[in-house]
Structures are given as structure tokens and as C-alpha cells.
């Protein structure tokens, strides 16, 4: 395909390269024109709007990171709908589709009538499906071409294409249009159309003319002038003021498109009495499509407004796309708006319902969807104001991608991640091989890698950068992708596994950035080529499961350059050993299909999946009691325990209920007009209930939360100027639970964050949670400091006792709620070290936490491949560093940290020669619900090992070093009121000795 869209657009934006713009026109003009034509049903009008779309592309400074085709399609759909809003064509089309399906005359729906709605459904698709559907059906590209462009396996493209079409069908169904998937595919395959020659010529002239001047803004009259002859018009318009030339971004005049909102079709039908036209030759039979208008609120006076701004400077961010996405199952459409020069936006003409408000990509500001999504509930006659987004400028990581010969490589993909964070950042190399990544936080363990279709670089690890970023990184594509593997995946009975996903991880490069995935075909066959040499691990996930279903490694293989390994046979689920089998049902006794059943014991786990009857079987187990957890969608069942060998296990998923709430002024009883609310899990109220990532926005004193598991849950509400209120409520299956929360007026908590020199710190995160994870502090944020270091917590719960502040490059500071609100951040401390076992590296996790200062953050991560670790942003105090070996012992040590100090703490995990074995009894009967921990004190370290007893109450600790030991027993399950849960037994173990302990709990009471 030559240069990518991203490269061409960048060349146009940077150098006004007319040839680059003309190539973009050639690639996408047909799709844009045909999309406009399907909606407008007027070729001439479609040309005008298509031309406007490319003028928008000519003007844009936006960095289109995903698919340019999807971006243009969105603009085409949005502007076509805008044009129709003031035109009778849309009213006629909606009225036609609003006719009842049960009519005396069987009505056929023409393909172009269907496609007019399909385009809107495509525009609303998730980003993972949209470019694939547009590329395949609207731009007539091959699966292989799309796969190369999106850098994914062709089988993944086909799989997502199928899912995308299914989501289009579901979107149409919500609009009252029931149509078969095959009918959608048939209609889409007829829809691709080339742009008229005259339009293509005008657009090419637009590129040439646009390259000679700064970006231009076209008004409605200017579009008509363009048709007459663009070159002449440019000269004339400059003299008459029809065109406005913007020489800087600050003074650019932008035509802000209206929000994309589907209006209700309850107006008079202008064609109600018109004769029924004969069906067209390409009509889809009425049997394939049924029309049932989706009921939506007729009130479209609702709106969502707010501001998008830089968290550090407070300045608004211009030209950000803000999207209001209705919750799943809603009958209304996605709506959007763009921010103005002050960062303000307003999404108008909305229907009542629940929305997720989020941002599209903002250049230079890496977004975190978990913390940047706002939940808003709109009720009739209300608006939601101050739905704001404070964005932190990304930290610039820049460098060059070169070939093995040292030549710059354009259009390479650059991947970055900080060790243990799991969040992936990506960029593409531009001309000259230059790339820029924007990261969120400083780090000492940045991992970078570059790749093209035919080569990849070695993974660079442990790169360090501060808020100032990192420059001069070189990634060399010196590892050629010439190896391959092929084979089949089958079930234990030999049945081929269609659509199973194989996840490959290149073990010798680390798991963070070196992975590939492929799906099996209808015969269970797979073929994965373009692999670099190295050692690979392969996991397998069934087709019906969304994510990697288990860490079970089915294949470990080493590949040499150019090596092709064929004939591989992977048998999924063939593990042998004992099993647990049974059925998963809901509270009404109906089977639950496609659920994950995770069977775990310590760090070991096995996963199975329920069939259509809710049945499952977990194999590969030993003779002991296991925890089973069931995941279905976003919900998790309560843990249940079964012995291996149980073949009739029944797991009942909890039923779901609804909370209907009222939020009132505690003194007046009047509804609180604008507030936030949230619910949690468990039967206690914790500070995490009030975190910003949990909240939803409510209006008019009322809210509703659906699909909540039965049982006791906490519910809270809060608002600026009021103290929060929270209650525990009991949810019953298939019932409404009513709750009333009363808010008392209260002043906000205000303060300032400074460093040890008293200088204000801008952009600090202020929170009141106890012991948040470092990676999760942004979700715990209650406020951020402004440019002068000041903060304001609008609504502070009574359970908050300490206010903390965090900023990278410092330790965490704190002030009591009863204090003056001034928080001093100490100089940053750090701790690093190495974990070994008999001079070998260890597969382990390392964590750090503060036991005496629980408001300080905790952190954890996996050891680097060389066995090293490093923690930064540490505060003065006593912390505990703990190393937990996978399927092995743990070692912990207390360390005293001072401000600005850099500490070293190495750990050695010993392998002893002793054993502790035995059985746990109660009045002579085996006890199977006991967890045992064996502890040994070694100088300033505490080593511990944990096991569960087996089905006979037996246990065994291997490779235990000699020393004074404490065996702690903790019973699970339901016990009598007078029964003890914990017991301790002390012993001395000599080198090479085996101690046998037959412990009867009845004798210890």
C-alpha cells in the first residue's frame, strides 16, 4: 500500500505536500462520497458534503492515530446528518421507517434505505471494529491489506469483521430495524462506489491550492464557489473575504459540527398519503427486515457541558472531541462536541438516560480510559454541568528507528511500557526514522521496542526518565522475522478447535512487548509466520472467551532464523490428574453459558468454560481442596470450595436487583439538583467508595443503579458544598430497593501542596484513601493542585482522617483532616536490589508497603529478567519489602527510609534440606478447610511458606532451611461461635531432618 495514511497526513500537515494529500484523496474519496450519498440520497448534495469533509482534513491539525478512513467516515456521516436536519429528506426517511411493520401491504426495504441507517451504526462502532468494517466494505480493501495496515493477523481482521457486523445489526435493532447479518453483508458489499471524476479533480486542485497557503476555513457559500473552479475562487475570495486565512492556530476560525444525535420520529409524516412505490431491483425482502421504532424520550432539551484543560496550567485545550456514549441497551445514539479555545464544550439535544462521557485522543496528552471516563445520568428537564477533564501533559520520549545497516526507517511501530504497569503506549516513526512517545509518569524501568512487518528491534529495558523526558533513543531493527510455526489445536476427543486464539510470547525478550496472536481456522489449523528467532511460549484460549483464559502453557519452542516448524499438535484441556465437574446456574436455576470457571490453589490455577447447559470440567488437579471462582461478563461469583474428585458441583450465581435512590438536602428535604453517587461491594463502607473513578453524575435528586448482585452493598452520594452520606442497603433479586441519602451542608477542605523549600507544586494528586497502589493513585484522586499549588476537596467523607498528596519526583506528604491543609512533599527516596536463589534468578513478585503510615502508597511489580527491582517516589518511614516467589516461599524485611535516601536491599531465597509433614485432625477426623503458614526468622528477615491441606487433611513443606519454626493454622468455612480459627505450633528443625506433625485441633482448644 506504500506510505501509510498516518505518514501521508503528517507530510501534508508539516510540509503541505500536495502529492501526499492527493494520495489520501485517491484512497478515501470514493468511500466518503458514497457514504454521503447513501444518507443524503442526492448525488449533487453528496459531492458538496464530501468536498467539505476533505476541506476539514485539509484544515485539521489533529494527529489521527487510529484509522484515517474511520475519521473521514465519521465526518461524512456527521456532516450529512447535519445537512439533513434542516431538510425534509430526513423527516421523510424517518417517517417512512417509522411505519408499523404490520401493514396491509408487505413493504420491501431497499438497500440504500437500509444503508442510510447502517452508516450511522458504523460511525458508532468501537475503534477496534470501525476501521476494519470501513476498509473492507466501504473502501473495498482485502483482508490482507487491512491486516498489514493495522498490524494484526488476517484471522483477527476476519474475526473482528464478523463481530463488527453483528454490532451493526444490534444497533439497527435498537432503532427498530431487525435485519439478518447476511442481509447487512449483502447490502454493504454493494455499497462501495468510486467518487465522480469531477469531484476527484476538484479535490486534487484543493490539495494543490491548499499547499500554497495556510489552512483555510470554508463556509457554506465557499463550497459552492469551489465547484465553479477552485483556483480562480481562491484569488477572488481572498479579495472579497469569503475565505479566511488562519496564520496561527489561535486565530483559526473553525466550523464546529453539531452533535451527532438521532432525533425521535414523532413528527407528522409528509409522505403518509403518498402511493407506495414498487420495490427496487436491489430491495431486501420484508421478511429479512422488520421495523419497530425504538422508544426514546421525546425531551431533547438535555445537555452535558464542561471543560477540558491542562491540569498543571489550568489553560483550556482546544479542538478536543468529547463523546457522550449511552450505556449499553440504550435506544439513543452517540453524541459529541468539540472544545472551543477555552476548552469548553456542550453536548446538546440529548435524551434522558445514562451516558459515559469520554475524550478522543488528545495529542501530547496520553489518556487513561479508566480515570478519564465520566458517568452521567440525565433526567427530564435537567442538564449536567461541570463535567470536566483535567489532563496531564505527557512526558516526551524521542528517538530514531534505524535498520540493521543504520539507515532511518519510516513507518515503524514503536511500543513502550513501564515495567509492571501493563499500560501500552505506541507511536510510529516519521520521515528520518524519528519517533515521539508520550508517557504518563517518570520511571526507572521504561521498556521500548520497535517493529515493522519484516523486522524487529531488541527490547531495551530499564531506561530511566524524569519529567523532562528522554531524548536520543535508538532502536535498531536487526532481528529479521523469517521463522514460522504451523499445526492444529484439538479437543481431547480429537475435535478441531475452530477460532481458538493462540497467544505467543517471546520469553527471551520479556512478556511486556513481545507477543503475537493468531486464530485457528474452521479445521483447527494455524500458521504463524514472520517470527524472529528466539524462545516462544504459547497459550490457548477458546473462541467464545474474550480474553486469555488461562496461564496454562501449551507449547514452549525455540526458533532459529528462517526455521519453519510444522506438524505441531496442541490438545486443549488434556491435563490428566483429578477433576472437578459440575454446573453453573443463575438464581432462577437457568444454566449460565460461556462463563469462566477458575480453579485455584495458592498461585496455581486452572480454567474451564461452561457449555450451553452451564456444565464444566476442570482437569489436571491434585488430591486437595480448591477455590472455584466464576466469571461471567463483568461479574464475579463468590468463591466456593470443592475437593478434587467432586463431579456434581453446583455453583449458583447471585441474582440481580435495582437500587432506586433519592438525594435530599438534610435540612430542607429539597432534592439536590447536581450530585455524584456510587455503590461498592461488601458489607462495609470504605474510603474507596468515594473515589473519582467510581462516581456517576446524578441530577434532580434521583438516581437508579441496575444489575447489582443481591446481598448487602454500600451506596453513597456527595455534592459540592455538602458532606457525603453513605448507607448499607440489602439488594434482593429481581426487586427494587429504595434508599434515601441526606446531605448536610459543609465547607470544602482546602489547602496547599509545597516542597521542603516551601515552593508550590502544581499538578499534584490529592487523595484521602488508605494505602492506594502507586499505579492506582490517579483513580483515588479527590483533587489536583492548580498552578499555585492550591487544592480544594469539594466534599469530604467523615471516614477520611488524613489528606495526602503525590507528585512524581517526590515522596508522599500528608496532613490530618484537623490540620491547616498544608502538605509538604519530602525529597524522593528509592530502594533497589536483587533477588537470587543459589546464584540463580527467581520468578517472583516484589512489593513495598507502609504498616505504620497506611495512608502512604503501596507498590508491587515483577522482578526484571535479571532479578533486579527498583521502587521510587518513596516517603520517610518504616516500610516492608516482601519478595514472593511463584509457587515458593516469601521473604520480607522492614526497612527505615529517610527523605532523599537511595537504599539497597538484596534478598536470597534459601533452599533447605528439611521437611515438615503431617495431618490436621479434629477429634480424629481429617480437616480439609485449613491453610497453613510456616515461618522462620533469619536475622532481620522473615521467611514464610504457605500450603493448604489435601483431601485427607495432609500437608507437606519441602526444602525448608534449618532453624526455629512457627506453624500457624487458620481454619476456613463456618465455625461454631466458641471455635478458634487460628492455632500456633512451634518447633526446631535441623538440617536434613523431617518433622512429622499429626495435629488434633480438639487437643489444642
For the stretch 201-220, pLDDT in tens is 777 666 665 543 333 333 33
β-strands 289-291, 335-338 pairing: unpaired
Query: How far apart (Å, rounded) are the C-alpha atoms in residues 338 and 341?
Result: 10
Task: Name 417's bridge partners.
Answer: 447
Instruction: Say if residue 892 is in the same domain as residue 991.
Output: no
Query: How far apart (Å, rounded) are the C-alpha atoms in residues 739 and 744?
Result: 16
- In-domain check, residue 287: no
pLDDT at 293 over 80: no
The number of folded domains in the chain is 9
Q: pLDDT by residue (tens digit) across 140-159?
A: 777 777 877 777 777 678 77
What cell numbers appear for 71 in the block? Answer: 475519521
Q: pLDDT by residue (tens digit) across 235-291?
A: 333 333 322 222 222 222 233 333 333 333 333 333 333 333 333 333 333 334 333
**Which of 391, 411, 439 delimits the end of a domain?**
391
Q: pLDDT by residue (tens digit) across 3-12?
A: 777 778 877 7
What cell numbers appear for 45 in the block? Answer: 448534495
CB-CB contact of 497 with 524 (8 Å): yes
Instruction: Say if residue 18 is in the same domain as residue 86.
Output: yes
Beta strands of 132-182 (E only): which ranges? 177-179
CATH number of the domain that 647 lies in?
2.60.40.1120
Q: pLDDT by residue (tens digit) across 464-489?
A: 888 889 999 999 999 999 999 999 99
- In-domain check, residue 263: no
Q: pTM for the whole thing?
A: 0.54
Find the largest Cα–Cα distance for the chain.
103
Instruction: Say if residue 63 is in the same domain as residue 203.
Output: yes
Task: With cut-offs at 50, 70 and 90, classify the pLDDT of residue 778.
Answer: confident
pLDDT at 221: 35
Q: Which domain holds residue 709?
A: 661-744
Of 670, 669, 671, 681, nearest to 705 by C-alpha is: 681
Q: pLDDT by residue (tens digit) across 638-692?
A: 678 888 888 899 998 888 889 999 999 999 999 998 888 988 877 778 888 887 6
- In-domain check, residue 554: yes
- In-domain check, residue 331: yes
CA dist 171 → 133, 180, 328 (Å) = 14, 12, 10
**Which of 810, 825, 840 delimits the end of a domain?**
825
CATH number of the domain that 354 lies in?
2.60.40.10
Return the residue matching grid coordinates 461524512.
Answer: 76
Dihedral sign computed on CA atoms, order 544, 548, 554, 560: positive
Instruction: Say if residue 381 is in the same domain as residue 412.
Output: no
What cell numbers appear for 895 in the block? Answer: 526497612
* C-beta atoms surrounding 124 within 10 Å: 20
What cell numbers appear for 710 in the block? Answer: 443481591
What cell numbers appear for 377 in the block? Answer: 445520568
pLDDT at 197: 66
Instruction: Say if residue 736 is in the same domain as residue 882.
Output: no
Query: How far apart (Å, rounded) are the C-alpha atoms in residues 188 and 291?
Result: 19
pLDDT at 282: 38
DSSP 125: S
Within 8 A by CB and 6+ apart from 401, the residues are 408, 409, 412, 414, 429, 433, 435, 450, 457, 474, 475, 476, 477
β-strands 711-718, 722-723 pairing: unpaired
536: helix, strand or coil = strand
Within 8 A by CB and 6+ apart from 211, the residues are 16, 17, 18, 21
Q: pLDDT by residue (tens digit) across 837-896?
A: 876 667 788 999 987 776 777 888 888 878 889 998 899 999 999 999 877 899 999 999
pLDDT at 398: 95
Mean pLDDT over each residue of the chain, to the nearest integer: 78
Instruction: Say if residue 71 is in the same domain as residue 148.
Output: yes
What cell numbers appear for 121 in the block? Answer: 451504526
What cell numbers appear for 823 in the block? Answer: 502538605
- In-domain check, residue 522: yes
Q: pLDDT by residue (tens digit) across 484-494?
A: 999 999 887 78
Instruction: Say if residue 590 is in the same domain as residue 713.
Output: no
What's the angle, vertex CA 795, arms to CA 794 and CA 800, rounded to 5?
125
pLDDT at 810: 93
Q: pLDDT by residue (tens digit) across 980-992?
A: 578 889 999 999 9
pLDDT at 786 over 60: yes
* C-beta atoms surrounding 253 within 10 Å: 11
262: helix, strand or coil = coil
Of 557, 526, 528, 552, nearest to 540 by C-alpha is: 552
pLDDT at 723 over 90: yes
Instruction: Say if residue 17 is in the same domain as residue 113.
Output: yes
Instruction: Say if residue 586 is in the same domain as residue 688.
Output: no
Instruction: Say if residue 132 is in the same domain as residue 240.
Output: yes
- In-domain check, residue 292: no
- In-domain check, residue 276: no
pLDDT at 605 over 90: no
Within 8 A by CB and 6+ apart from 158, the residues are 143
- In-domain check, residue 275: no
Task: Name 305's bridge partners.
Answer: 346
Instruction: Say if residue 617 is in the same domain as residue 544.
Output: no
Instruction: Say if residue 71 is in the same domain as residue 119.
Output: yes
pLDDT at 49 over 80: yes
**Which of 530, 546, 571 delimits the end of a domain?**
571
Amino acid at each position: 500500500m506504500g506510505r501509510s495514511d498516518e505518514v501521508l497526513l503528517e507530510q501534508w500537515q508539516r510540509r503541505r505536500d500536495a502529492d501526499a494529500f492527493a494520495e489520501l484523496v485517491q484512497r478515501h474519496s470514493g468511500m466518503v462520497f458514497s457514504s454521503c450519498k447513501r444518507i443524503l440520497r442526492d448525488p449533487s448534495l453528496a459531492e458538496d458534503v464530501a468536498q467539505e469533509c476533505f476541506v476539514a482534513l485539509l484544515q485539521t491539525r489533529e494527529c489521527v492515530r487510529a484509522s484515517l478512513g474511520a475519521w473521514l467516515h465519521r465526518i461524512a456521516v456527521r456532516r450529512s446528518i447535519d445537512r439533513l436536519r434542516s431538510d425534509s429528506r430526513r423527516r421523510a426517511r424517518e417517517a417512512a421507517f417509522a411505519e408499523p411493520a404490520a401493514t396491509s401491504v408487505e413493504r420491501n426495504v431497499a438497500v440504500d434505505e437500509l444503508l442510510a441507517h447502517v452508516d450511522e451504526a458504523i460511525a458508532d462502532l468501537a475503534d477496534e471494529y470501525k476501521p476494519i468494517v470501513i476498509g473492507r466494505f466501504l473502501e473495498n480493501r482485502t483482508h490482507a491489506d487491512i491486516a498489514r495496515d493495522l498490524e494484526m493477523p488476517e484471522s483477527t481482521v476476519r474475526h473482528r469483521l464478523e463481530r463488527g457486523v453483528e454490532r451493526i445489526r444490534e444497533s439497527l435493532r435498537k432503532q427498530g430495524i431487525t435485519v439478518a447479518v447476511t442481509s447487512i453483508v449483502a447490502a454493504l458489499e454493494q455499497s462501495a462506489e468510486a467518487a465522480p471524476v469531477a469531484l476527484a479533480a476538484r479535490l486534487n486542485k484543493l490539495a494543490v491550492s491548499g499547499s500554497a497557503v495556510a489552512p483555510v476555513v470554508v463556509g457554506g457559500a465557499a463550497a459552492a464557489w469551489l465547484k465553479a473552479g477552485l483556483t480562480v475562487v481562491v484569488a477572488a475570495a481572498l479579495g472579497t473575504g469569503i475565505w479566511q486565512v488562519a496564520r496561527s492556530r489561535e486565530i483559526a476560525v473553525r466550523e464546529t459540527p453539531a452533535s451527532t444525535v438521532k432525533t425521535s420520529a414523532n413528527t407528522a409524516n409528509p409522505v403518509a398519503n403518498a402511493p407506495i412505490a414498487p420495490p427496487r431491483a436491489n430491495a431486501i425482502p420484508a421478511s429479512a427486515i422488520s421495523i419497530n421504532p425504538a422508544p426514546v424520550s421525546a425531551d431533547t432539551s438535555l445537555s452535558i457541558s464542561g471543560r477540558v484543560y491542562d491540569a498543571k496550567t489550568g489553560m483550556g485545550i482546544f479542538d478536543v472531541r468529547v463523546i457522550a456514549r449511552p450505556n449499553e441497551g440504550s435506544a439513543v445514539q452517540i453524541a459529541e462536541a468539540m472544545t472551543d479555545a477555552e476548552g469548553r464544550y456542550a453536548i446538546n439535544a440529548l435524551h434522558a438516560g445514562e451516558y459515559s462521557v469520554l475524550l478522543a485522543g488528545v495529542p501530547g496528552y496520553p489518556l487513561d480510559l479508566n480515570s478519564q471516563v465520566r458517568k452521567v445520568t440525565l433526567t427530564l428537564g435537567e442538564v449536567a454541568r461541570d463535567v470536566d477533564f483535567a489532563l496531564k501533559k505527557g512526558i516526551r520520549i524521542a528517538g530514531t528507528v534505524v535498520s540493521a545497516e543504520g539507515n532511518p526507517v519510516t513507518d515503524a511501530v514503536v511500543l513502550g511500557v513501564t515495567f509492571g504497569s501493563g499500560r501500552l503506549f505506541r507511536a510510529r516513526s516519521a520521515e528520518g526514522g524519528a519517533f515521539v512517545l508520550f508517557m504518563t509518569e517518570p520511571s526507572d524501568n521504561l521498556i521500548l521496542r520497535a517493529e515493522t512487518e519484516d523486522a524487529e528491534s531488541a527490547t531495551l529495558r530499564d531506561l530511566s526518565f524524569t519529567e523532562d523526558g528522554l531524548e536520543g533513543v535508538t532502536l535498531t531493527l536487526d532481528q529479521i522475522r523469517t521463522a514460522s510455526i504451523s499445526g492444529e489445536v484439538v479437543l481431547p476427543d480429537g475435535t478441531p478447535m475452530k477460532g481458538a486464539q493462540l497467544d505467543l510470547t517471546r520469553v527471551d525478550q520479556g512478556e511486556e512487548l513481545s507477543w503475537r496472536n493468531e486464530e485457528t481456522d474452521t479445521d483447527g489449523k494455524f500458521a504463524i509466520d514472520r517470527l524472529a528467532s528466539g524462545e516462544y511460549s504459547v497459550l490457548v484460549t477458546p473462541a467464545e472467551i474474550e480474553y486469555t483464559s488461562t496461564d496454562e502453557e501449551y507449547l514452549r519452542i525455540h526458533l532459529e532464523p528462517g526455521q519453519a516448524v510444522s506438524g505441531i499438535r496442541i490438545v486443549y484441556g488434556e491435563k490428566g490428574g483429578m477433576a472437578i465437574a459440575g454446573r453453573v446456574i443463575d438464581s432462577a436455576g437457568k444454566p449460565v453459558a460461556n462463563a469462566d470457571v477458575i480453579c485455584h490453589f495458592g498461585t496455581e490455577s486452572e480454567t474451564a468454560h461452561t457449555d450451553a447447559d452451564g456444565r464444566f470440567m476442570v482437569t489436571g488437579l491434585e488430591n486437595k481442596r480448591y477455590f472455584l471462582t466464576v466469571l461471567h461478563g463483568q461479574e464475579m461469583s463468590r468463591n466456593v470450595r470443592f475437593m478434587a474428585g467432586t463431579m456434581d458441583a453446583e455453583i449458583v450465581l447471585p441474582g440481580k436487583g435495582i437500587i432506586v435512590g433519592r438525594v435530599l438536602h438534610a435540612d430542607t428535604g429539597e432534592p439536590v439538583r447536581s450530585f455524584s453517587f456510587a455503590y461498592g461491594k461488601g458489607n462495609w463502607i470504605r474510603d474507596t467508595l468515594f473515589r473519582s473513578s467510581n462516581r456517576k453524575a446524578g441530577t434532580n435528586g434521583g438516581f437508579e443503579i441496575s444489575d447489582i448482585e443481591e446481598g448487602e452493598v454500600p451506596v453513597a452520594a456527595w455534592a459540592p458544598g455538602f458532606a457525603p452520606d453513605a448507607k448499607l442497603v440489602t439488594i434482593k433479586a429481581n426487586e427494587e430497593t429504595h434508599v434515601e441519602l441526606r446531605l448536610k451542608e459543609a465547607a470544602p477542605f482546602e489547602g496547599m501542596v509545597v516542597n521542603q523549600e516551601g515552593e508550590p507544586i502544581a499538578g499534584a494528586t490529592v487523595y484521602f484513601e488508605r494505602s492506594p497502589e502507586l499505579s492506582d493513585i490517579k483513580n483515588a484522586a479527590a483533587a489536583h493542585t492548580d498552578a499555585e499549588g492550591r487544592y480544594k476537596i469539594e466534599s469530604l467523607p467523615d471516614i477520611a482522617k488524613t489528606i495526602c498528596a503525590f507528585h512524581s519526583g517526590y515522596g508522599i506528604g500528608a496532613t490530618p483532616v484537623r490540620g491547616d491543609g498544608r502538605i509538604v512533599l519530602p525529597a524522593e527516596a528509592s530502594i533497589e536490589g536483587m533477588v537470587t536463589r543459589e546464584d540463580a534468578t527467581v520468578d517472583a513478585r516484589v512489593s513495598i508497603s507502609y504498616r505504620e503510615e497506611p495512608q502512604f502508597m503501596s507498590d508491587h511489580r515483577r522482578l526484571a529478567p535479571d532479578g533486579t527491582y527498583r521502587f521510587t517516589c518513596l516517603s520517610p518511614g518504616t516500610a516492608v519489602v516482601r519478595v514472593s516467589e511463584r509457587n515458593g516461599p516469601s521473604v520480607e524485611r522492614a526497612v527505615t527510609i529517610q527523605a532523599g535516601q537511595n537504599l539497597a536491599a538484596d534478598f536470597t531465597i534459601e533452599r533447605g534440606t528439611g521437611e515438615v509433614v503431617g495431618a490436621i485432625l479434629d477429634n480424629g477426623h481429617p480437616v480439609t478447610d485449613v491453610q497453613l503458614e510456616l515461618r522462620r526468622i533469619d536475622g532481620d528477615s522473615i521467611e514464610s511458606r504457605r500450603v493448604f491441606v489435601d483431601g485427607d487433611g495432609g500437608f507437606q513443606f519441602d526444602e525448608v532451611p534449618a532453624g526455629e519454626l512457627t506453624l500457624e493454622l487458620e481454619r476456613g468455612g463456618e465455625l461454631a461461635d466458641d471455635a478458634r480459627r487460628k492455632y500456633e505450633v512451634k518447633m526446631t528443625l535441623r538440617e536434613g531432618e523431617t518433622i512429622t506433625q499429626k495435629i488434633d485441633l480438639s487437643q489444642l482448644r
